[in-house]
Structure 1
C-alpha cells in the first residue's frame, strides 16, 4: 500500500512538472531596431513657414485620439463622426469581432469545465423467446433518468494552449477593427480635403476657361481687322479649347471623390454630403512623432501582428501537447426500472464511474507533421511581424519627408502666386489706362489663375499628408498614454 501511494504521488508530481513546462515558444515578438530617426536623414524640428503655418514636429508626443478635430472644422468633425457611426463595413467588422468573442467564451466553457447532461429515457420493447420454453412474446416497459458528467484533465496543457491561441486570434480581430476604424477616419478626412481642393480648382479653371475664351474672341476680332495673324487667332482658339478640355476631367474627379465619400459615410452616392471649403480647414501646427518603442505599441497593425505571433506560439504548444497522454473521467447517476414503482423504489438506483487514459502511439506521422507545420507557421508569423514593423517605419519616414517637402512646395507656389497677382494687378491697371491691350490683361490673369491652382494643390497635399502622418502614428492605449505623459 505504501509503495502504491508513493508511486501515485510521484506520477502526479511528474505530470504536473511536465505540464508546467512550456511546449512552445514564449510568444514574445522579436526585438526590433530602434532607430534614432525614421528617414534617411533626421527630420527637422519644424517646417518652413507656408500658408501662414510652420508645422512643429513634437518628438516623443503621442497621437491625439481624435486627431481630425485639430483641423478645427465642425463640418469635418461631423463627417467623420457620421462615418464612424454609420459605415456598414465598420459595423460588419464589429459584429464579426463580437461573434468571435462569444465563440471564444463557448470554447473556454466547453473545454475547461466539466460537462453535465441530463438524460431521460422511456422505452417499450419486445424480446424474442425460444419456442416451447416460455410465452410466445415478452413485452416490457423501461423507465430511466440520470445525470451524466464528463471531464478531461488538461495534464499537458493542450486545452490551455488551444484557448490561448483562440484568445490571441480574437485579439487580432480586435486590433484589425481598430485599424479599420482609424483607416476609415483617415479616408474620410482625405476624401473631404480632396473634394474641397477640387471644388477650388474647378472654380479657378472655370474662370481660366472664360479668360481663354475672351482671349480667343479678342484675337479673332483683331484678325478680322487685320491687326494679328491668322496663326495667332487659331493658336488662341486652340489654347481656349485645351483649357476647356481640362474642366470635365476635374468634374469627373470631383464626382468620383464625392461618391466615394458618400459610401464611406454609409450613404448612397445620390445623397452625397456637402464638404467644408478648403479655406475653412486649419492645418494642425503641431504633429506628433512617436519614438519607435511607442510606435510598436500604438499601431494597431503591429499589435495585430504581435497577437498573431502569440497565437502561432500557442499552436506549437497545442501540437506538442497532443502527443502526450490524455486522462478523462466519466460519472453518471440516476434511477431506472421496468415500471414506475420500480423506478421510485430503492432498487431503482443507477450509477457508474469510470476513467480513461489514452496515449497516441502511431498516427502515421501525422502528429509530428502537425507539430512541424505549427513551428513553420510560428516562424512565418515572426517574419510577418518584422515586415509589419518595417513597413510602419517606412510609413512614418515617408510622411515626415512629405510634410517637409510639402511646406517647401507650398512656400514656392505662394511666392509664384503673389508675384503673378502683383503682375496681374499692374497689367490690369495699365490696361485701364489704355497702355496695354486686353489680351495682355487676359494673359496676365491666366498666369495668376494657374499659379493659384498650383498653390491650392500644394496646400491640399500638405493637409492630406498631415492626416497620413497622424494615421501612421497610431494611438497608444489610454493607460499607456497616461504613463507616457507622466514620464
Structure 2
C-alpha cells in the first residue's frame, strides 16, 4: 500500500520517503468455478476475450448513430462533467502553486517614512527633530527541506490531481453509461408499446367476435366478459409503459444538459442496436490500474500517506536561509551614495519543544486517516471485482434468457402461420387466428425485454472494466502501459 517505510518515526529519524503504490491482487479470475460463457445463438452470441481492447468510445460498438450523438451531446453539455473538469484544473493550479516552495522566495520593496525620534531616547540628544527616511531593498529566503515535509506536501497535492483526474474520468464514464442505458430502455419501451398496441387491437377483435357470437346465441356471454377483462388488463399496461418512456426521455434531456421542456425527444429504433459479439475482459491484476473509482481510492491513499510525512516533518527542526540588500538614506538623492548600502545574511533554525501534544496528536490523526483510506481502498477493489463478476454472470444468464425467448418467438410465429393456414383451409376459426396473433406479440415483448437486459448488461461490463480511457488518444504512454501491464488471463 501507499505506506511509509518503518513508519517514519518522529524521534529524529526524518520524514518517511515517498511511498509505493498498492500491489495488484493475486486472484486470477473474477468468478468462482469455471469462467462463465455466453449463449451461442446466431444473433446474440457473445464471448469474453482477454486479448480484446476496450475502446474509450465503447458505445460505438452498438453501431447506433442516435446513441453516438446522444453520448456526444451529454459529454459536451453535462454540468457534472464540466464541474469535474474544473475541479481537475483547480487541483493542477494548486499543485503548480505548491511547487513554488522548491525555489528561493525573492521580494523587493520601497519604503518612505517621516519620523521624529524621541529626544530622551536619542544618545547625546543628537539628530533631534523630524526627518525623512527612504529605503529600497530586496530580500531572498529559502527553506532547507532537510526532513522532506515540503516534498511530501507537494506529493499530497500531486495525489489530489490524480484523484480529481479520475473523478473526471468516472464522471464521463458514468454519464456515457447512463445515456446508453437510458437510450436502450427508451427504445425497448417504444417497441413494447407498439407490440402491446397490436395485442390490444387483436383482443378488441376477439371481443367483437365474441359479442357477435353471443348475440347470435352460439356462445355464452360470459366468454365476452372474460375476453373484455383480458383486454382491459392489456390496455392497463400501456399507461405504465408510456410513463416509463416519458421518464426515460426526461432523463435523457437532463443527461444531455437540457431542460425536459426544451429538449427534443430522442428516438431510437430497438432494431437499430447491434449487440457486440466480442467482450473484452481485463485480467484482475490490470483492473486496479483501469477503473477510475479504484484509482480515486488509490490517490486518496497516496495523499493520506504523504500527510503522515508532513506531520512527521512538523515535529523536526526547520532551517531557513535568508539575506537582504538595500539602500537607505534620508533623501532620495542620497540613496545612490556609497554609504547608503545596507545588507544582511543569516540562517534560522526552529525546533518545536513543547506544543501540548499537538504535533504528536496531529501525526497520530494522519496515521489513522491513512488506515481509513487503506480500508476504503480495499473495499473499493472488492466492490469492483464483485461488479465485474455480476456482469459476467448476468451476461451468461441473459444469453440463456434470450435464447429461450428467441425460441418462443419462433414457435409463436410458426403457430401463427399454421393457424392462418388452417383458417384459410376451414380448419380453424378466426378466433383461433386472433389468439395465435396475441401469443406471438406477447412472445415478442418477452424477447424485447430479454434483449434490452442483454444490451444493458453489456454496457455494465464496459463500465465495470473502467471504460477504456487508457486506450484513448489523450492517455499517456505510461498510463496505457500501467493499465495493460498485467497479462494473466482471468
* Cα distance in structure 2, aligned partners of 1:294 and 1:134: 82
Residues 387-444 of structure 1 show CA distances to partners (whole Å, capped at 9, x for unaligned) of: 1111111111111111111111001001111111111222233334444333322222
**What is the DSSP-based 3-state SS (H/G/I as helix, E as strand, rest coil) of the residue aligned with 1:477?**
helix
- RMSD of equivalent CA atoms: 2.6
Establish whether residue 399 from structure 1 lines up as the match of residue 381 from structure 2. Answer: no
Match of 1:102 among 88, 93, 96: 93
Residues 181-201 of structure 1 show CA distances to partners (whole Å, capped at 9, x for unaligned) of: 122112111111111111111
TM-score (norm 2): 0.88
Taking a change above 3 Å as real, the CA distance of residues 273 and 41 of structure 1, as seen in their structure-2 partners, is farther
Match of 2:154 among 163, 182, 185: 163
Which position in structure 2 is the counterpart of 1:222?
213
Which position in structure 2 is the counterpart of 1:332?
324
Which position in structure 1 is the counterpart of 2:133?
142
Residues 219-255 of structure 1 show CA distances to partners (whole Å, capped at 9, x for unaligned) of: 2333333333232222222211111111011011011
Output aligned runs, 1:78-477, within 5 Å.
78-109=69-100, 111-127=101-117, 129=119, 138-270=129-261, 271-474=263-466, 475=468, 477=470
Residue 262 of structure 1: CA displacement?
Answer: 1.8
* Cα distance in structure 1, aligned partners of 2:108 and 2:136: 8
- C-alpha contact (below 8 Å) 1:162/1:318 kept by paired residues: yes
- C-alpha contact (below 8 Å) 1:50/1:408 kept by paired residues: no
- C-alpha contact (below 8 Å) 2:155/2:306 kept by paired residues: yes
Q: Quick check: 51-60 or 375-384, which moved more?
A: 51-60
Residues 248-288 of structure 1 show CA distances to partners (whole Å, capped at 9, x for unaligned) of: 11011011111111221222223134233111111111001
* Cα distance in structure 2, aligned partners of 1:401 and 1:460: 16
* Cα distance in structure 1, aligned partners of 2:24 and 2:486: 25
Which position in structure 2 is the counterpart of 1:6?
none
**What is the DSSP-based 3-state SS (H/G/I as helix, E as strand, rest coil) of the residue aligned with 2:402?**
helix
Structure with the largest fraction of helix: 1
* Cα distance in structure 1, aligned partners of 2:427 and 2:340: 123
**What is the DSSP-based 3-state SS (H/G/I as helix, E as strand, rest coil) of the residue aligned with 2:364?**
helix
Taking a change above 3 Å as real, the CA distance of residues 48 and 340 of structure 1, as seen in their structure-2 partners, is closer
Residues 124-145 of structure 1 show CA distances to partners (whole Å, capped at 9, x for unaligned) of: 3345657xx999x933222111
Taking a change above 3 Å as real, the CA distance of residues 33 and 150 of structure 1, as seen in their structure-2 partners, is closer
Aligned residues: 465
Taking a change above 3 Å as real, the CA distance of residues 134 and 176 of structure 1, as seen in their structure-2 partners, is closer
Q: Quick check: 339-348 or 239-248, which moved more?
A: 339-348
- C-alpha contact (below 8 Å) 1:141/1:339 kept by paired residues: yes
Taking a change above 3 Å as real, the CA distance of residues 21 and 56 of structure 1, as seen in their structure-2 partners, is farther
TM-score (norm 1): 0.89
* Cα distance in structure 2, aligned partners of 1:156 and 1:23: 5
* Cα distance in structure 1, aligned partners of 2:431 and 2:28: 57
* Cα distance in structure 1, aligned partners of 2:115 and 2:14: 54
Residue 470 of structure 1: CA displacement?
Answer: 1.3
Q: Which runs of 5+ in 2 are unaligned?
A: 1-9, 472-476
Residue 448 of structure 1: CA displacement?
Answer: 0.9
Residues 314-333 of structure 1 show CA distances to partners (whole Å, capped at 9, x for unaligned) of: 11111111100001122221
* Cα distance in structure 1, aligned partners of 2:83 and 2:133: 52
Q: Quick check: 329-338 or 216-225, which moved more?
A: 216-225
Match of 2:44 among 53, 56, 78: 53
* Cα distance in structure 2, aligned partners of 1:181 and 1:443: 48
Residue 114 of structure 1: CA displacement?
Answer: 1.6
Which position in structure 1 is the counterpart of 2:53?
62
Residues 143-163 of structure 1 show CA distances to partners (whole Å, capped at 9, x for unaligned) of: 111112222211111101111
